[in-house]
């Protein structure tokens, strides 16, 4: 199993809060890797909300290729974070040349583009850079998106975070997702490390998805270029959520109806049963087979957590107005929000979706037995 932690805060916090939470949950991960997603950024990046930020790992030659490529298509650097690393990495962590976090200015030719077209072009550029890196093994590109930073590395989460000095002011954020990895493969591919991200949608998962192959085949057949990769069976959870929001036009309340639809006899009694039966039939190849716990972030920076029907992967959500967190274990929550009212902690069951909206005032619970708000 892996261990997951997410928080949303009115004030920008250091990623070290998440690393400390992962560390107290270390019995649930083996220290083989860490993944970090940051959004609603503070520090210097807060003044660059609309500028796309490129996150990844580069060799020296790869950085030269990147610079030439970006210059040729008109992207100019607005701000960069230089991560100077010690010569000796932690045990198990490879020696890298450059961890890159760089904000760009859009090319003049992109001025006046619609949001939809802008998002499409940013995604296609990220995919192109990833392919370039895979061909020559000199670039690993995690994200290219406004107000998003992603860092992934092999090794113990706490040791890696100290090695990279993640406590720096530039990396403070109001939304943080972090995963302590349990290696289930012989070779570690950093593209298989959670969280995963696509056009404003990020998710991470604790569990396994034995329905991975039919889900991957369904998504790959949709004609959307972003549904690629799949070094991990959990990446499909990000893409299913993207599909639910962007292709079906539904809200987070419908996500569980896609991945874990109600039984037919329950649909008979549901006030939106007719619609949900049609949704279940149309998206039947997206039904997951767990156990899985999914924690994620929506484009509006809402956090959510869901369980599948087996509910064999733990999660708890709690906090106070202005600061809420989701963790695989209670001890992770205790580290992040020690001054909360513990009687209000909530452990989602298989019908629940727990959501913390961007106002960060409460945890809202919706059940699959509820009516869907978008239909009424």
Residue indicated by tokens 């406590």: 167
pLDDT for res 49: 86
Q: How many residues does the chain have?
A: 376
Task: Say how far apart CA 186 and CA 97 lie, in whole Å.
Answer: 24
Neighbours of 65 (CB within 10 A): 17
pLDDT for res 87: 84
Phi, psi dihedrals of residue 243, rounded to the nearest 5°: -60, -40
Model confidence, pTM: 0.95
pLDDT for res 32: 76
Q: What is the pLDDT along the chain (376 residues), one digit of tens a residue?
A: 678 999 999 999 999 999 999 999 976 445 578 999 999 999 999 999 899 999 999 999 999 999 999 999 999 999 999 787 888 899 889 999 999 999 999 999 999 999 999 999 999 999 999 999 999 999 999 999 999 999 999 999 999 999 999 999 999 999 999 998 655 554 568 888 999 999 999 999 988 888 999 999 999 999 999 999 998 889 999 999 999 999 999 999 999 999 999 999 999 999 999 999 999 999 999 999 878 899 999 999 999 999 987 766 789 999 999 999 999 999 999 999 999 999 999 999 999 999 999 999 999 999 999 999 875 5
The sheet carrying 364-367 orders its strands as 196-198, 201-207, 292-297, 303-307, 352-356, 364-367
80 CB-side CA count, 13 A: 13
pLDDT for res 28: 46
pLDDT for res 294: 95
Among residues 115, 141, 127, 145, which one has the least CA distance to residue 53? Answer: 145
Task: Say how far apart CA 57 and CA 164 lie, in whole Å.
Answer: 12
């Amino acid at each position: 199993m892996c261990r997951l932690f997410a928080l949303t805060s009115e004030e920008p916090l250091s990623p070290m809060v998440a690393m400390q939470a992962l560390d107290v949950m270390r019995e649930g991960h083996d220290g083989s890797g860490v993944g970090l997603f940051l959004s609603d950024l503070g520090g210097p990046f807060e003044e660059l909300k609309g500028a796309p930020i490129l996150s990844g790992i580069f060799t020296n030659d790869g950085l030269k290729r990147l610079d030439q490529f970006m210059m040729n298509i008109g992207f100019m650097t607005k701000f960069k974070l230089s991560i100077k690393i010690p010569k000796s990495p932690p045990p198990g962590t490879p020696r890298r040349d450059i961890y890159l976090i760089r904000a760009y200015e859009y090319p003049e030719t992109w001025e006046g583009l619609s949001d939809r077209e802008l998002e499409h072009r940013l995604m296609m550029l990220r995919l192109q850079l990833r392919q370039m890196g895979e061909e020559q093994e000199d670039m690993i590109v995690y994200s290219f998106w406004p107000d998003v930073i992603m860092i992934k590395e092999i090794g113990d989460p706490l040791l890696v975070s100290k090695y990279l000095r993640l406590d720096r002011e530039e990396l403070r954020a109001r939304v943080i997702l972090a995963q302590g990895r349990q290696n289930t493969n012989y070779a570690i591919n950093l593209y298989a490390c959670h969280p995963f991200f696509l056009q404003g949608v990020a998710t991470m998962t604790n569990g396994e998805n034995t329905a991975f192959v039919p889900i991957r085949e369904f998504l790959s057949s949709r004609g959307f270029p972003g549904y690629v990769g799949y070094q991990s069976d959990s990446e499909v959870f990000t893409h299913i959520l993207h599909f639910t929001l962007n292709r079906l036009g539904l809200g987070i309340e419908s996500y569980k109806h896609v991945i874990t639809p109600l039984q037919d006899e329950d649909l008979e009694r549901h006030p939106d049963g007719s619609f949900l039966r049609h949704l279940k039939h149309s998206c039947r190849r997206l039904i997951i087979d767990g156990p899985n716990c999914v924690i994620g972030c929506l484009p509006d920076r809402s956090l959510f957590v869901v369980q599948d029907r087996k509910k064999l992967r733990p999660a708890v959500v709690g906090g106070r107005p202005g600061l809420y967190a989701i963790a695989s274990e209670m001890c992770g929550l205790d580290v992040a929000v020690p001054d909360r009212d513990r009687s209000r902690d909530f452990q989602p069951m298989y019908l629940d979706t727990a959501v913390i909206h961007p106002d960060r005032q409460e945890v809202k619970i919706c059940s699959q037995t509820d009516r869907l708000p978008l239909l009424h």
